Amino acid sequence: MRILLIEDDAVLQTVMLRSLSDAGHRVDAASHLEDGAHFWQVQTYDAVLLDLNLPLNGQTHAAQGSGLQLLREARARGDRTPVLVLTARNRTDERIAGLDAGADDYLGKPFDLEEVEARLRALVRRTHGVDDEVQVGRLRLHRKLHRIFLDDVDLALPAREFEVLRELMSPPGRAVSKRVLSDKLSGFDDALGDNALEAFISRLRKKLADSGATIRTLRGIGYVLEEQT
Q: Which residues contact 94 (CB under 8 A, 6 or more apart)?
A: 52, 87
pTM of the model: 0.62
Using one digit for the tens of pLDDT, what is the confidence trace for 77-100? 888 899 998 877 656 676 777 788
Average of per-residue pLDDT across 3-28: 90
CA angle 57, 99, 128 (to 5 degrees): 95
Confidence of residue 62 (pLDDT cuts 50, 70, 90): very low
CA–CA dist 154, 146 (Å, integer): 10
Using one digit for the tens of pLDDT, what is the confidence trace for 115-173? 888 888 888 777 665 556 788 999 998 876 778 999 989 988 888 888 888 888 877 78
Confidence of residue 61 (pLDDT cuts 50, 70, 90): very low
**Residue 63 has what pLDDT?**
46
